[in-house]
């Protein structure tokens, strides 16, 4: 998130806390800076594991304890009221972005249970119902985020689109779900690249990186 911010890519306001060296800010201090509710999440986990939504002072210590179970570094992030939009990116030096899709959770918080245990946890809209100018902005920001983090091969870029039409990049998943019903391949299918062809392109991209790295070594 710091790299995104430094690259001028809009993202939600956040704090980073380290178990070993940081004095934990109190609830009042965090809520003054980020607003309330806010989220507490492990920095290096996925699938919403260890994430808590903090609604008040009683939730905060439990949320910190839960997040620190999974990582020594925790991200505390402001709530963004907007639509959850995802975009698949493919490439090495010249990445391209798919059409965006939308995740519409049926719960207040798109938790691990909602993602994996509840068959009705969310609806997927592919492509996302966005006006053309917002679709273009999401795709351009997805590619910029991919490049800012020096990603290669593939990644799924998750973003929010607010009612004011602001696009905020939330996170980048460098090993996204890849079953035939996962968002990453389904977005490429909608963009004209079927599953089998997507696999072939990823293999070619990996071989390109291998050849490039061999040349550097020589």
Assess whether the previous peptide bond of 124 is cis (omega < 30° from 0).
Answer: no
For each of the domains in the chain, give its residue range(s) and CATH number, in order of start: 2-78 (3.30.1490.20), 83-217 (3.30.470.20)
Helix count (H) and strand count (E) of the chain?
7, 10
Per residue of the chain (218 residues), give pLDDT as tens.
999 999 999 999 999 999 888 789 999 999 999 999 999 999 987 667 899 999 999 999 999 999 999 999 999 999 999 999 999 999 999 999 999 999 997 766 555 554 554 466 678 999 999 999 999 999 999 999 999 999 999 999 999 999 999 999 999 999 998 887 799 999 999 999 999 999 999 999 999 999 988 887 66
The three state secondary structure string of 53-121 is EECCCCHHHHHHHHHHCCCCEEEEEECCCCEEEEEEEEECCCCEECCCEEEEECCCCCCHHHHHHCCCC
Q: What is the DSSP letter of 25?
A: P
Q: Decide: helix, strand or coil at residue 38.
A: strand
**Degrees, nearest 5: CA angle 116-119-121:** 75
Using an 8 Å Cβ cutoff, are 93 and 47 in contact? no
Instruction: Give the CA distances from residue 114 to residues 90, 97, 104, in Å, rounded to whole numbers and listed in that order.
Output: 27, 27, 11
Using one digit for the tens of pLDDT, what is the confidence trace for 150-192? 999 999 999 999 999 999 999 999 999 888 779 999 999 999 9
């Amino acid at each position: 998130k710091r790299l995104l911010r430094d690259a001028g890519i809009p993202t939600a306001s956040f704090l980073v806390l380290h178990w070993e060296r940081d004095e934990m800010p109190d609830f009042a201090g965090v809520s003054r800076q980020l607003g309330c509710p806010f989220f507490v999440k492990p920095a290096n986990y996925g699938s919403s594991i260890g994430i808590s939504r903090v609604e008040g002072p009683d939730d905060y210590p439990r949320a910190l304890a839960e997040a620190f179970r999974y990582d020594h570094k925790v991200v505390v992030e402001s709530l963004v009221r907007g639509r959850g939009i995802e975009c698949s990116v493919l490439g090495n030096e010249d990445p391209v972005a798919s059409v965006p899709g939308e995740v519409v959770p049926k719960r207040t918080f798109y938790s691990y249970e909602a993602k994996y245990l509840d068959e009705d946890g969310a609806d997927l809209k592919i492509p996302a119902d966005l006006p053309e100018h917002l679709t273009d902005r999401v795709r351009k920001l997805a590619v910029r985020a991919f490049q800012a983090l020096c990603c290669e091969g593939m990644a799924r870029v998750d973003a929010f689109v607010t009612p004011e039409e602001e696009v905020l990049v939330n996170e980048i998943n460098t090993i996204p779900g890849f079953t035939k019903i996962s968002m990453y391949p389904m977005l490429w299918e909608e963009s004209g690249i079927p599953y089998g062809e997507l696999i072939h392109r990823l293999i070619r991209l990996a071989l390109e990186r291998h050849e490039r790295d061999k040349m550097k070594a020589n």
